[in-house]
Amino acid sequence: MPTPVYPPPIPQRSNMLQALCKMPRSFLSLLFTRSYEMKMGEISLPKTKVFFVNQPELVRQVMVSEQKKFPKHHLMHEALLPLLGESIFTTNGEQWRQQRTILSKAFASAKMTDIYPMMNAAVDDLLVRLEQERPKKAVLDIDPWMTFVTADIIFRTIMSTRLKTEQADKILAAFSRFQSIAPLSALLEVYGLGAINKYTPSERSRKRAARIIRQEIKEIIHPRFLCKATESAAQTDILTHLLNVCDDETGQSLGIDELVDHVCMLFLAGHETSASALTWSLYLLALDQDVQRTVHNEIDQVLGDKPLEYKHLRNLPILESVFQEALRLYPPVAFLPRECTAHTKMRNKDLNKNDVVMISPWLIHRHQKQWQDPHEFKPQRFHDPACQATIRHNYLPFGMGPRICLGAGFARQEALIVLAKFLKIYHIQMPSDFHPDIVGRLTVRSANGLQLVLEKRG
């Protein structure tokens, strides 16, 4: 089995000019050989320093024990503001705490069993459309299909509406534009060139893309906001819970702009990450035909000729380990930037106020000193008792501490449904001349999609 693709690390750290040339395409192209071995590294920029923290105890210090000292970086808040507004993904302090309480309640009330039929129906629709399309093409790019189904699942579970193709064309194209410009904007900001960035055509195009997405989402939720008093009690989507939220102290409910912020954030955090994880899971299974065979056997044994049901999801450990290993090799959120708010010493390095502390699931998951065969696809490591300590201390695809992903359970359920139903029907192979072109932007994706040959199983 060949080693799954990853961008070959460059021998030496890039200087500012090299970084400005490479990074607009991908954050990952800046990583150098030592990045995968060091406990902690440092890059000096004109206005700040960036510290890469890989050592497990230090990662816990930043993400858990001293997390208040290391809030989300303000540049990330500013970069995502046009799309996500003042939403939980980038806010800090008391504002974040209140939002986390509201959204946790909404997620807890919308039970996974209630959401299951909505996810299931979206996947059934995907499979019908895929089967219409498949005979027309010998090779299919599966990546847009995964993006569509995860966006459709968010639409159905959050707003009880199906994603129409024309809506998808508009929203997903706008999001793709927004995401492709993100690394350049971030780099200019980090280099202290934010003032120039504001006036670049690409920045204006990024803001336009964000407006298009927000407008589309607003058009869907506004009518329900206006008649929330008469909302059907039978509605079980997440928006119903958000519409019914009211502040314990003031009794006030959320305004329309706050709702748009929350829904846009859930749309972004919820579909893009899951689409990335699903595409990489399928890539790895196409690459490793032996593992694919064991997954097919597991699905056949658990389902027989019956359709997938909620209760089956806990009986697919091999499939689940493939998903976990895909998240290790290709963590959709590869970098978690934090801001140092007060002087701190770490490994004899002085971190000062405003310095960037970068926790990178990408580097931590592939660290040479922590993992055996870090770049190899070995889903069985998730069932190997000897690997559990490594996993416990060096595996954080959903983040860590109080800001851990709110949708981790949602994402796991969604992934198992999509993969189990898809693999029940299809055997997948990759054309021998196809190699994904991996890029790290807001999420880790393949710039040339994922070409697959889909054969129906007997």
Question: Is residue 336 within the footprint of ligand HEM (CB under 6 A)?
Answer: yes
Question: Is residue 88 within the footprint of ligand HEM (CB under 6 A)?
Answer: yes
Near ligand HEM by CB under 6 A: residue from 41, 71, 183, 332 = 332
Minimum CB–partner distance for residue 429 and ligand HEM (Å): 24
| Contact range with ligand HEM by CB under 6 A, out of 23-31, 37-45, 268-276, 341-349 | 268-276
Residue closer to ligand HEM, measured from CB, 364 or 411? 411
Pairing mode of beta strands 49-53, 356-359:
parallel
266-276 per-residue burial string, b: 16 or more CB within 10 A, e: under 16: bbbbbbbbbbb
Near ligand HEM by CB under 6 A: residue from 30, 333, 420, 430 = 333
Tokens of 327: 């998240």
Total binding residues toward ligand HEM, as defined by CB under 6 A = 24
State which amino acid sits at residue 82.
Answer: P
Near ligand HEM by CB under 6 A: residue from 51, 89, 148, 283 = 89
Reduce the DSSP state of residue 51 to 3 states and report it.
strand
Question: Is residue 259 within the footprint of ligand HEM (CB under 6 A)?
Answer: no
Is the Cα dihedral 145, 148, 153, 154 positive or negative? positive
Cα R_g (the chain), whole angstroms: 22
**Binding to ligand HEM, residues 14-73 (CB under 6 A):** 72
Minimum CB–partner distance for residue 335 and ligand HEM (Å): 9
Near ligand HEM by CB under 6 A: residue from 172, 182, 217, 277 = 277
Minimum CB–partner distance for residue 98 and ligand HEM (Å): 11
Tokens of 244: 């019914």
Near ligand HEM by CB under 6 A: residue from 85, 270, 374, 449 = 270
**Binding to ligand HEM, residues 366-425 (CB under 6 A):** 397-399, 403, 405-407, 410-411
Near ligand HEM by CB under 6 A: residue from 146, 159, 245, 269 = 269
| Contact range with ligand HEM by CB under 6 A, out of 169-177, 269-277, 295-303, 427-435 | 269-277
* Residue 251 region by backbone torsions, left for phi larger than 0, else alpha for psi between -120 and 50, else beta: left
Q: Cα 432 to the chain's mean position, in Å?
A: 28
Are 192 and 20 a contacting pair, CB within 8 Å? Answer: no
Report the residue number whose CB is nearest to ligand HEM.
Answer: 407
Q: Tokens 């699905």 — which residue? A: 299
Residue closer to ligand HEM, measured from CB, 103 or 340? 103
Taking the C-alpha atoms of residue 278 and residue 274, their distance in angstroms, rounded to an integer, is 6
End-to-end CA distance of the chain: 25
CA-CA-CA-CA dihedral for 164, 272, 66, 60, to nearest 10:
140
Which residue, among 172, 177, 138, 143, has the nearest Cα to 436 in the 3D structure? 143
Residue closer to ligand HEM, measured from CB, 9 or 399? 399
* Residue 265 region by backbone torsions, left for phi larger than 0, else alpha for psi between -120 and 50, else beta: alpha
Query: What is the DSSP code (8-state) at residue 234?
Result: T
Degrees to nearest 5, angle at CA 140 with 136 and 141: 145
Is the Cα dihedral 23, 27, 28, 31 positive or negative? positive
Tokens of 421: 């139903």
Minimum CB–partner distance for residue 269 and ligand HEM (Å): 4
Minimum CB–partner distance for residue 10 and ligand HEM (Å): 25
Minimum CB–partner distance for residue 395 and ligand HEM (Å): 12
Give me the 68-87 binding string for ligand HEM, x by CB under 6 A, dash otherwise: ----x---------------
Near ligand HEM by CB under 6 A: residue from 29, 55, 120, 274 = 274
Residue closer to ligand HEM, measured from CB, 266 or 450? 266
Near ligand HEM by CB under 6 A: residue from 19, 239, 259, 266 = 266
Residue 418: Cβ-neighbour burial (10 angstroms; 0-12, 13-18, 19+): buried
Near ligand HEM by CB under 6 A: residue from 100, 218, 393, 424 = 100
| Contact range with ligand HEM by CB under 6 A, out of 44-52, 286-294, 330-338, 425-433 | 330-338
Chain residues that interact with ligand HEM, rule: CB under 6 A: 72, 88-89, 100, 103, 266, 269-270, 273-274, 277, 327, 332-333, 336, 397-399, 403, 405-407, 410-411
